[in-house]
Amino acid sequence: MTQYNAADVVGRPARRLKRLRAIREDHAMSQAELAKKAELSRATIVSLESGRAGAQYATIRRLAEVLAVQPADLFGDDQP
């Protein structure tokens, strides 16, 4: 299992998951497919992609694992 650095993502609001949609689309995956693979609802994916909902680290980690990226990658390039 891939190890992740929680310090890279803990405390960052979901509105900053601005790369989630682009990464999902790069994987040619629908919101429904991502939701199923990450064991989340499609409504959760919609909320995360739009920034209307917060995500706990466990959710961010599941999404990153399904998409084969580091959790910090979901936040975009402009993070400190």
pLDDT at 16: 66
Distances (CA, A) of 53 to 2, 26, 28, 68, 73: 26, 22, 23, 22, 18
Class of domain 6-73: mainly alpha
Domains in the chain: boundaries: 6-73
pTM: 0.76
Distance of alpha carbon 69 from alpha carbon 61, whole angstroms: 9
- Output the tens digit of pLDDT for each of the chain's 80 residues: 455 555 555 555 444 687 999 999 999 999 999 999 999 999 999 999 888 887 888 899 999 999 999 988 988 755 44
pLDDT at 15: 45
pLDDT at 2: 52
